[in-house]
Amino acid sequence: MTTTTLRTPRTNPGNPSFGLARTIRLGANRIGYETKVYFRQTDTLFFTFLFPVIMLSIFSVAFQGMGNVGANPDGTGGISQAAFYLPGMIAAGILLSGVQNLGVDIAMERSDGTLKRLGGTPLPVLSYFFGKMGQVFVTSLLQIGLLLLVARFAFDVALPTDPAKWMTFAWVYLLGIATSAVLGIAISRLPRTGRSATAVIIPPVLILQFISGVYLQFSLLPDWLQTVASLFPLKWMAQGMRSVFLPESFATVESGGAWNLGGVAIALLVWLVAGLIVCRVTFRWIRKDS
């Protein structure tokens, strides 16, 4: 008489924990794939990854003849032009990595049929999002590392030594990159075609950089323009980064005469939640009007 032993499968596809593990595993695989594709695109490398580094170098060299920023009447003290522009360029890089990179990339993938093909595969939407957001996280960290290296060794910028400053940097960065990533996914719905993606997304992102304290000193802008900039996240990311890399004396020229890190956190959280809601409501593998 033959006896049959029934074996319990190690993993059960109907188990929610199995589905979550599979989603995370596929998302991790997508991160590697998305990162490789990112670094193979020459235009993306220039206009997203290297752009803040190039702009920091240009501003530092072009304005070094104007002397230090915040110098005393006798010309002593203050900080170099490179040190002054560094936090703004870091904030701009976060915005470019998330909003511009993902906005254009996803719009083009929707237009050329990539998303439609992915929609016909077992790939979960969450795995796709994990891949995109993971790629943004990895490439933005590399970009910031390059910015700090150029600032320190090419322009002799003194970086913070206080651990509290780097803790502030960490939470401002994490909130900023998460907010930028979800807003990039949300804004990818605006272009009707892949060809129009750059024309629709890049100009607003560039304008925000000019009015949010990246290229121009924020306190020198008209009050009404400061108010407009305060409605968008880049202003708050730049302000948070200035609190990390600029001396405390520079807080007096901020709105309200302080860094207002509480306001930075609230503003970024509001935009993060709003972006998540828009993504949840509007994301489709294909456009309804296509």
pLDDT tens per residue, range 94-121: 999 999 999 999 999 988 888 888 878 8
Burial classification of residue 52, based on how many CB atoms lie within 10 Å of its CB (0-12 exposed, 13-18 middle, 19 or more buried): buried
Cβ-defined contacts of 282-288 (< 8 Å, 24+): 282/186, 282/189, 283/125, 283/185, 283/189, 285/110, 285/115, 285/116, 285/118, 285/119, 285/125, 286/110, 286/115, 286/116, 286/119, 287/110, 287/189, 287/192
Report the C-alpha gap between 162 and 53 in whole angstroms.
24
Question: Per-residue pLDDT averaged across 140-166, rounded?
Answer: 97
- Report residue 13's pLDDT band, with 50, 70 and 90 as the boundaries: very low
* Res 7 pLDDT > 60: no
| pLDDT given for residue 111 in this prediction | 87
Higher-confidence residue: 163 or 194? 163
* Res 222 pLDDT > 60: yes
Note whether 244 and 172 are within 8 A (CB). Answer: yes
Eight-state DSSP code of residue 73: T
Note whether 56 and 151 are within 8 A (CB). Answer: yes
* Res 217 pLDDT > 80: yes
Could you tell me the two tokens for 187? 């804004």
